[in-house]
């Protein structure tokens, strides 16, 4: 009770402070914004160095995307738009995509960006799949070649329906003259590692403080960016930082409450929301010799974990219970007709008895670095398993360590959270198919189902949406029955901002960069508009 009273008092104090700050503006039109917009954003920690290979997760990719470009991109409509490529076309058989490059694009060091740079970049990804962004798809590419001085042809092993979003939109193009002599590309962080063709140049960054500073590239091929300076700064409280003017916006997923948003319901503040494309999962490592190899044990865990309690006590209603079929309702290909594994301790115990489970403890790995992996999540998961008769051993790591453990398969059961779930549903194949080459932390370990593999291989070549949907529906039904991963919840996303600083915030349907759900799509910073490529006056 005392905690609730203190929290209510804090919210009232924040509201009064917000009203005192905006009172002089009440009833008056917003002041005209000036040229030279500087946008300060909460840093949220260190996300690697923003070279084409040194970043980590979506926030790191976002920072690198300010420096490096891809062949195509997308805007607020979610449609593919020209970027480094001014045009593109598939062959009649769908096996070759030819991209025409823009004229006059230069690297930050003044050297021209050429067809040779594009071919070298893509070939590097083919030769070194460990360097590929986990949302990117390169194992469908057979070869890449220059076609004259201004075109690149990418040949595929088979037609691939999501090629533009999952490949052309995700792979950074980088300068050959910088990288061809670099042996350890992930570790390389010399100043020229940040030489891109992008709208911004890196001024400085600090691993210790988690800060990044970018300034506009006046020679960018679309013209001078609308936002001239982007700073990622540390904050101890995003709410107060926005009210005090220390930042111009903050993006929140999970932990959002109506009380938290109350101070931002009047000018100059605005709030925009989007459906959940970021999820928290319970991963089961099926490569290790544990009781989890029995599907009945995994199904028992699904019945034991009270996912409705997670939605209520962790997300405060700002989200949805995870779908056992993996894809959330925000994904257009979501299948709602899969088993839901309602909270049922008796059913969980019966399944454990059928499996002959002997009460051996299972190791649960998690990180407390995220609010989304808070002790409350662990508490609810552990409580349900305990009620069903499954003891757990806690393995606590920092986020970087747990990501490495996920990649290497060094866990039994793990809490893993990530976004991109609203993007192309080929994510199902890349995450769960036996022969998938995806090596990131999202890759399921030890799962194999021939029926799933056959459907996964077939759906990528289906151009008829109804046929592809039918295959993806069946894939989700198989996953819901086999449960190599238990989706716990997906979070709603909220961006809160001062419209007098920057008012063009939007969420891209299906995400950007292959499916990133954050509102930090660089298109809006560069153009100042929601659709198209014209720079706002």
Cα 411 from Cα 525, distance rounded (Å) = 40
Per-residue model confidence (pLDDT) at position 202: 98
Per-residue model confidence (pLDDT) at position 536: 59
Least-confidence region, from 8-22, 174-188, 195-209, 499-513:
8-22
Task: Indicate if the pLDDT at residue 20 is higher than 50.
Answer: no
Per-residue model confidence (pLDDT) at position 452: 98
Task: Indicate if the pLDDT at residue 523 is higher than 60.
Answer: yes
Task: Indicate if the pLDDT at residue 2 is higher than 70.
Answer: no
**Cβ atoms of 126 and 119 closer than 8 Å:** no
Q: What 8-state DSSP symbol labels residue 142?
A: E
Task: Report the DSSP beta bridge partners of residue 391.
Answer: none
Query: What is the model's pTM?
Result: 0.80
Confidence of residue 35 (pLDDT cuts 50, 70, 90): low
Per-residue model confidence (pLDDT) at position 403: 83
Count other C-beta atoms under 10 Å from residue 349's C-beta. Answer: 18
Per-residue model confidence (pLDDT) at position 3: 36
Per-residue model confidence (pLDDT) at position 453: 98
List pLDDT tens digits, range 37-87: 999 999 988 999 999 999 998 999 999 999 999 999 999 998 999 999 999
Please, what's the b/e burial string for 410-441 (b: 16 or more CB within 10 A of its CB; e: otherwise)? bbbbbbbbbbbbbbbbbbbbbbbbeebebebb
Q: Tell me what the pLDDT averaged over the chain comes to.
A: 90
Confidence of residue 10 (pLDDT cuts 50, 70, 90): very low
Per-residue model confidence (pLDDT) at position 434: 95
Task: Indicate if the pLDDT at residue 353 is higher than 50.
Answer: yes
Structural tokens at position 320: 């949805």
Task: Indicate if the pLDDT at residue 95 is higher than 90.
Answer: yes
Task: Indicate if the pLDDT at residue 399 is higher than 50.
Answer: yes
Per-residue model confidence (pLDDT) at position 159: 93
Mean pLDDT across 301-309: 98
Percent above pLDDT 70 for the chain: 92
Mean pLDDT across 131-146: 92
Cα 446 from Cα 252, distance rounded (Å) = 33
Task: Indicate if the pLDDT at residue 423 is higher than 70.
Answer: yes
Confidence of residue 25 (pLDDT cuts 50, 70, 90): very low
Task: Indicate if the pLDDT at residue 4 is higher than 60.
Answer: no
* Integer CA distances (angstroms), 42 to 185, 397, 512, in order: 28, 24, 20
Task: Indicate if the pLDDT at residue 154 is higher than 60.
Answer: yes
Task: Indicate if the pLDDT at residue 12 is higher than 50.
Answer: no
Per-residue model confidence (pLDDT) at position 356: 98
Per-residue model confidence (pLDDT) at position 533: 85
**Cβ atoms of 413 and 285 closer than 8 Å:** yes
Mean pLDDT across 494-514: 93
Per-residue model confidence (pLDDT) at position 358: 96
Mean pLDDT across 258-277: 92
Cα 236 from Cα 174, distance rounded (Å) = 35
Mean pLDDT across 193-200: 98
Confidence of residue 372 (pLDDT cuts 50, 70, 90): low
Cα 159 from Cα 95, distance rounded (Å) = 5
Confidence of residue 418 (pLDDT cuts 50, 70, 90): confident
Per-residue model confidence (pLDDT) at position 277: 87
Domains contained in the chain, CATH given: 57-179 (3.40.190.10), 276-491 (3.10.105.10)
Task: Report the DSSP beta bridge partners of residue 527.
Answer: none
Cα 144 from Cα 314, distance rounded (Å) = 47
Cα 367 from Cα 375, distance rounded (Å) = 9
Mean pLDDT across 184-202: 98
Task: Indicate if the pLDDT at residue 351 is higher than 50.
Answer: yes
Cα 430 from Cα 386, distance rounded (Å) = 33
Helix pair 465-482, 295-304: axis angle to 10 deg: 90
Per-residue model confidence (pLDDT) at position 21: 34
Per-residue model confidence (pLDDT) at position 280: 94
Mean pLDDT across 437-444: 81
Mean pLDDT across 383-389: 98
């Amino acid at each position: 009770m005392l905690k609730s009273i203190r929290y209510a008092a804090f919210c009232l104090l924040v509201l009064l402070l917000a009203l005192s700050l905006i009172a002089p503006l009440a009833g008056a039109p917003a002041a005209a914004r000036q040229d030279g917009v500087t946008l300060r954003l909460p840093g949220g920690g260190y996300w690697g160095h923003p070279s084409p290979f040194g970043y980590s997760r979506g926030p790191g990719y976002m920072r690198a995307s300010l420096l490096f470009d891809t062949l195509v991109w997308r805007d607020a409509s979610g449609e593919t738009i020209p970027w480094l490529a001014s045009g593109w076309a598939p062959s009649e058989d769908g096996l070759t995509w030819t991209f025409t490059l823009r004229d006059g694009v230069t690297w930050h060091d003044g050297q021209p960006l050429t067809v040779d740079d594009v071919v070298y970049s893509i070939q590097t990804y083919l030769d070194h799949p460990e360097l590929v962004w986990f949302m990117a798809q390169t194992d469908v590419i057979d070869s890449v070649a220059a076609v004259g001085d201004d075109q690149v042809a990418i040949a595929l092993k088979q037609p691939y329906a999501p090629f533009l979003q999952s490949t052309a939109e995700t792979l950074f193009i980088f300068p050959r003259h910088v990288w061809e002599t670099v042996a350890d590309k992930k570790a390389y962080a010399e100043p020229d590692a940040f030489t891109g063709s992008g709208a911004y140049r890196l001024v400085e960054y600090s691993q210790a403080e988690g800060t990044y500073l970018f300034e506009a590239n006046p020679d960018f091929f679309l013209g001078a960016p609308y936002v001239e300076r982007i700073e990622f700064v540390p904050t101890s409280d995003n709410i107060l930082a926005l009210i005090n003017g220390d930042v111009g916006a903050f993006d929140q997923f999970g932990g959002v409450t109506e009380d938290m948003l109350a101070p931002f319901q009047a000018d100059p503040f605005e709030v925009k929301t989007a459906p959940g494309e970021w999820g928290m999962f319970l991963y089961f490592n099926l490569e290790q010799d544990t009781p989890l190899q029995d599907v009945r044990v995994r199904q028992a865990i699904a019945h034991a974990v009270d996912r409705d309690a997670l939605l209520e006590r962790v997300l405060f209603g700002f989200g949805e219970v995870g779908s056992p079929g993996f894809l959330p309702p925000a994904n257009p290909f979501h299948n709602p007709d899969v088993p839901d594994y309602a909270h049922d301790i008796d059913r969980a115990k019966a399944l454990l008895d059928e499996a002959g489970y002997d009460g051996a403890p299972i190791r649960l790995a998690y990180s407390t670095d995220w609010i989304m992996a808070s002790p409350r999540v662990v508490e609810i998961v552990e409580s349900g398993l305990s009620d069903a008769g499954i003891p757990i051993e806690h393995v606590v790591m920092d986020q970087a360590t747990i990501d490495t453990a996920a990649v290497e398969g060094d866990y039994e059961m793990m809490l893993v959270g990530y976004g991109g779930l609203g993007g192309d549903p080929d994510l199902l194949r890349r995450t769960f198919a036996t022969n998938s080459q995806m090596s990131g932390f999202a890759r399921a370990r030890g799962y194999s189902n021939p029926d799933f593999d056959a459907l996964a291989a077939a759906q990528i070549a289906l151009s008829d949406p109804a046929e592809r949907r039918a295959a993806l529906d069946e894939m989700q039904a198989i996953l819901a029955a086999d449960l190599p991963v238990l989706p716990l919840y997906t979070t709603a996303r909220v961006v809160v901002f001062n419209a007098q600083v920057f008012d063009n915030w939007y969420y891209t349907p299906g995400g950007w960069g292959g499916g990133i759900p954050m509102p930090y799509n660089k298109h809006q910073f560069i153009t100042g508009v929601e659709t198209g490529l014209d720079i706002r006056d």
